[in-house]
Structure formats: C-alpha cells, structure tokens
Amino acid sequence: MDGNGRKMSKSLGNVISPQKIIDKYGADILRLWVVGSDYTDDVRISEEILKGEIDTYRKIRNTLRFLLGNLNDFSKKEIVPYEDLPGLEKYILNKLFKLDSIVRKSYNEYDFHNVYKQVRNFCINDLSAFYFDVRKDILYCDSVDSKRRRSARVTLDNIFRFISTWLAPILCFTMEEVWSSRYSEKVESIHLEDFSKAPEAWGSNLETEKWERIKDVRKVVTGAIELERKAKKIGSSLEVSPIVYLDKENYLACSDVDMEDICITSGITIINGDPPSDSFYLEEINGVGVLIKLAEGEKCERCWKILKEVVRPKSICYRCAEVVS
C-alpha cells in the first residue's frame, strides 16, 4: 500500500517500483524497508517511509564507521582477559550475549523484523548514545597500550564481529563493504562466515542492575547539563563538575565507578544524601538530584578537560603529558 494506506494501482498512479528505489537509494535500503515492515499488518511504502529507513541506515552505518575507525591496527596482542575487563565492558558484553540469543532465535523462526529491531536499538541506544560516547575519551586520549584502552578495543572487536555477521543477511552489500574494509584480502566474503558464539562467561555478569542505575544517574546529569547548555551558560559538558546527590542504592552503584567518565564531565562529586530543593531531577528517576558547578582550572588542549593540574605554558594535564612524552 502507499503511505496513505491505499492499495497501489496504475489508475491511481501510486505505484512505487522496487527498481526505482534500488536505482535511487541502493538495494540495501529496499532490503532494510522489507525487514523494517511488519508483515502481519498492511505493508506501506512511500518516500517518507523510505526516508525513515535511510535515517536508520545512516545511524547503523555511523556505528560501523566508529568501530572501523577505532579498530585500526587492532591485534591479538591487545587482548585483555574477560575477568580483567572493567565493569562497563562486562556490561556491554552481557548485552551482546543476550542479544546473540535473541538474534539466533529470530533468524531460526524467520522473524527478520525482530532481528532488525533488536540490532538497530542496540546500535543506536546502547552503543552510539552510551558506550561509544563514554569511551571516546579513553580511545582518543589514553596511551595506545593502556589497559583501559585495550579493554575498550577488545570489546569493540567483539561488537564488530557480532554485528557484522548479524546484519550480513539483511544489509548484504554494506556488510561486505565493511568486512572487506577491515580485513582487506586477508579473509573471504562475510557471507561465508558463521555467527560468532558468545562465551558463557559473558552471560554471568551479575552487575546488570548496577549499570542500569548508573545509566539512570547519567541521564539525570545529562539533563541538568543540557539545561545549562540551552541557557548558553556552557558549551560543552567538560566545562562542568556537577554535584550529584544520590539515595543509598544509587550511591552504592556509583561509588566505585569513574562517574566523570560516564557523564563526560571534567570532574564530579557524589554525595549520599537528600538533594537541595533547587537541584535538577527527573520525575521518572528516583533518588537522584544534580547541581551544576563549573569546573575549576585550565583547559587541557589535548583532552579538553578543565583541571587544576593543567599548568601553562604546556597547557596539558598529567595524563596527556605522560602520553605525549
């Protein structure tokens, strides 16, 4: 049917040719529209609907671009054992483990729409909007052999292998391009690869609830920062060092985590107690209040954090000074 729910017919002039879609947008956009459609109901297609699929395709492609860019020259020498990974990496791998089970089940049941929906949400919400955002600083600014950076890279490598093979039956041309871009002539076509098997250890992470709480705290902090940004009081989240008031459960979840990294701020103060009346909060998240305080010090010209340790004329923080030396 067309976008208005009318049956396509030549007399109405509302027929959209699949070949024209392929010629204009490429075959993968047409394939994405097919899996993105709920075939249990009337299936509609229009330029507006296709624009939505193009936007989704762009977001997935940006996820893949980030993975490729940050896995350049990755080797097995960088691998960090699972038990030595930071909590955030274990949390993401646990997400990957659960998603692997869903994807396999959905493919076995020919539920391609669910494969598309689940992988799309993982790419957009869990990776681009959260994990990638949090780990950019470590990936870009830590030394190449730091354990934190190697932990992030080995996690990205796992994510790349799973997502690439999951999406290959759907975005067959794009994933062939992505696969060959990373491995060049060293491996055969991605369409000859089997799905990777997620290790059982990834499914035994007992800190899932903890990280869901941490994400909630981050959401409140981000909301408070966004208000300051809209008021043109700040330009970047790195210009602030917020004070975060937490109830007991949220405080215990955040107490052993580098929350300034999670919230992408130059510093952060975590307090177990009731927030002041003028603190920022979100009604749907209990036990979290935030006061925004400007970060003190000078701006590091390499990582852009504002820290007291940054001293002119070098204008870089201790970490960056050690890396560049």
Q: Which residues pair with 194 in a beta bridge?
A: none
The domains found in the chain, sorted by start residue, are 18-204 (1.10.730.20), 208-294 (3.30.2320.20)
What is the pLDDT, as a whole number, of residue 40? 67
pLDDT at 13: 55
Task: Answer yes or no: is pLDDT of 206 > 90.
Answer: no
Least confident of 101-115, 260-274, 308-322: 308-322
Position 94 pLDDT exceeds 60: yes
Per-residue pLDDT, 1: 47
pLDDT at 41 over 80: no
Sign, CA torsion 319/320/321/325: positive
DSSP string, 20-72: HHHHHH-HHHHHHHHHHS-TTS-----HHHHHHHHHHHHHHHHHHHHHHHHTT
Pick 211 or 25 by higher pLDDT: 211
Span 116-172, pLDDT tens digits = 999 999 999 999 999 999 999 999 999 999 999 999 999 999 999 999 999 999 999
User: C-alpha distances in angstroms, 175 versus 113, 123, 167, 264?
Assistant: 18, 15, 7, 31
DSSP three-state, residue 73? coil
* Angstrom distance (rounded) from CA 120 to CA 211: 21
| Model pLDDT, residue 8 | 54
Is the predicted pLDDT of residue 58 greater than 90, yes or no?
yes
pLDDT surpassing 70 at residue 15: no
Of 36 and 80, the structure prediction assigns the larger pLDDT to: 80
Distance (Å, whole) CA 2 – CA 175: 29
**pLDDT at residue 312 greater than cutoff 80:** no
Mean per-residue pLDDT of the chain: 91
pLDDT of residue 3: 52
- What is this structure's pTM? 0.91
The secondary structure of 179-218, three-state, reads: HHHHHCCCCCCHHHCCCCCCCHHHHHCCCHHHHHHHHHHH
pLDDT score of 125:
96
Write the CA distances from 187 to 70, 144, 174, 176, 196, integer angstroms.
Answer: 20, 26, 16, 11, 15
* pLDDT for res 12: 54
Q: What is the pLDDT confidence band of residue 10, given thresholds at 50, 70 and 90?
A: low
List pLDDT tens digits, range 211-254. 999 999 999 999 999 999 999 999 999 999 999 999 999 999 99
Position 60 confidence tier, pLDDT thresholds 50, 70, 90: very high
The mean pLDDT value for 175-200 works out to 89
Closest of 311, 131, 130, 305 to residue 222, by C-alpha: 130
pLDDT cut 90: percent of the chain above it = 80
Nearest alpha carbon to residue 113 among 54, 197, 33: 33
Residue 32's alpha-carbon distances to 74, 153, 233, 253, 272, in angstroms, are: 30, 29, 42, 39, 47
Question: Residue 14's pLDDT band (boundaries 50, 70, 90)?
Answer: low
